[in-house]
């Protein structure tokens, strides 16, 4: 008989609300985050908002902002995380309009333990521009619409008590990864 030590997550994301949605392409991203800490955390939680610039390559991903929250006492916490829009010069022109993804991640001691992905659609509000898009995008006329009702939540098991076992900030790709939809975030 084998016994495995199960390490319970010390942080549970209770709710994510996408604010100012739909919005202009040039407006900041805003998420209201509610999370619960089951015991005091001596170190910061690292939250990131990442814009996926192209499905073809991670080189176009942009970290829009990073915020450190902590040390975190036991209990329920809520804050609004706001990040600037992506730099369109760093996105391939063919990927500026259409469907992409925005990610919200959280790490503790350099180990990512949750990743929430939202599909978003960038399109012109004007029907004429949608039907006949200009060669050079007109950013003032583009609208961003995040599909807030259908987040993709991935949770990773980490060692909460030691950073030595969390040396790599690469999410594990193993059977212990829960890639299901988290109904509590809808």
Mean pLDDT across 79-96: 95
Q: Which residues pair with 50 in a beta bridge?
A: 63, 103
Kindly state the DSSP code that residue 5 receives in the 8-state scheme: P
Give the model confidence (pLDDT) of 35-54 as tens digits: 999 999 999 999 999 999 99
The Cα 121–Cα 54 span in angstroms is 13
Q: Is the pLDDT of residue 4 over 90?
A: no
What pLDDT does 8 receive?
79
Q: Mean of the per-residue pLDDT values for the chain?
A: 87
**124-143 pLDDT per residue, tens:** 999 999 999 999 899 999 99
The CB-side HSE value for 82 (13 A sphere, CA atoms) comes to 7
For residues 177 and 15, give the distance between their C-alpha atoms in angstroms, rounded to a whole number: 20
Q: What is the pLDDT of residues 101-118, one digit of tens each?
A: 999 999 999 999 999 999
Tell me how far apart the alpha carbons of residues 20 and 145 are, in angstroms, rounded to a whole number: 9
């Amino acid at each position: 008989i084998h016994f495995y030590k199960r390490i319970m997550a010390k942080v549970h994301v209770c709710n994510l609300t996408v604010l100012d949605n739909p919005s202009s392409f040039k407006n900041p991203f805003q998420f209201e985050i509610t999370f619960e800490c089951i015991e005091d955390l001596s170190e910061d939680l690292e939250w990131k908002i990442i814009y996926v610039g192209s499905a073809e390559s991670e080189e176009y991903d942009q970290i829009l902002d990073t915020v450190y929250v902590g040390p975190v006492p036991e209990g329920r916490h809520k804050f609004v995380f706001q990040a600037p829009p992506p730099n369109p010069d760093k996105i391939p022109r063919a990927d500026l309009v259409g469907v992409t993804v925005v990610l919200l991640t959280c790490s503790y001691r350099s180990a990512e333990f949750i990743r929430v992905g939202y599909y978003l659609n960038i399109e012109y509000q004007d029907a004429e521009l949608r039907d006949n898009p200009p060669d050079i995008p007109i950013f003032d006329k583009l609208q961003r619409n995040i599909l807030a009702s259908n987040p993709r939540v991935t949770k990773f098991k980490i060692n909460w008590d030691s950073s030595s076992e969390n040396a790599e900030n690469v999410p594990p790709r193993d059977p212990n990864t829960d890639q299901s939809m988290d109904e509590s975030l809808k």
